[in-house]
């Protein structure tokens, strides 16, 4: 069975997911950029939570970290997203049932995920 998922062009936003700004489009099952190589593709079923970084009233851009259900995978961060896209992205995440949080600081994801793995495996009390 082939299942097609068409990205929502009107919900698209520009962000840096590799080394350059690209147009990223959400859909029902994924978040993609298929116009520039290397392609960017996140399957939403693999995402546990999303965290918005550098969200303040004084910045023009923010970053977003996609935290995987497999805590052994370091979160995928898309940087330099225009603040105007914040509400659209949050609304889309709510629509697809993914939780999110926001903060003013960037996170050291390697360290954060190391603590999460230790906690999940019973190493932190």
pLDDT of residue 123: 63
Average pLDDT, the chain: 93
Under 8 Å between Cβ of 79 and 16: yes
Residue-wise pLDDT for 3-26, tens only, equals 888 898 999 999 999 889 999 999
Compute the Cα dihedral for 111, 62, 29, 48 and give only its sign: positive
For the segment 59-84, the average pLDDT, to the nearest whole number, is 97
Give the count of beta carbons closer than 10 Å to the beta carbon of residue 65.
21
pLDDT(116) > 70: yes
| pTM over the 0.95 mark | no
Residue-wise pLDDT for 54-66, tens only, equals 999 899 999 999 9
Q: Extract the runs of DSSP E, i.e. beta strands, from the chain.
A: 13-16, 21-26, 30-33, 40-43, 47-53, 61-68, 76-82, 100-102
Look at 119 and 61; give whichever has higher pLDDT.
61
pLDDT of residue 3: 80
pLDDT of residue 33: 95
User: Facing residues of 82 across strands?
Assistant: 61
């Amino acid at each position: 069975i082939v299942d097609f998922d068409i990205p929502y062009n009107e919900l698209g936003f520009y962000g840096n997911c590799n080394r350059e700004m690209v147009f990223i489009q959400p859909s029902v099952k994924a978040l993609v950029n298929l116009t520039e190589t290397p392609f960017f593709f996140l399957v939403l079923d693999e995402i546990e939570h999303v965290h918005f970084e550098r969200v303040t009233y004084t910045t023009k851009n923010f970053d977003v970290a996609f935290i995987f259900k497999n805590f052994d995978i370091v979160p995928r961060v898309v940087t330099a997203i225009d603040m105007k896209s914040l509400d659209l992205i949050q609304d889309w995440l709510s629509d697809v049932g993914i939780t999110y949080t926001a903060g003013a600081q960037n996170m050291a994801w390697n360290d954060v995920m190391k603590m999460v793995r230790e906690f999940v495996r019973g190493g932190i009390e």
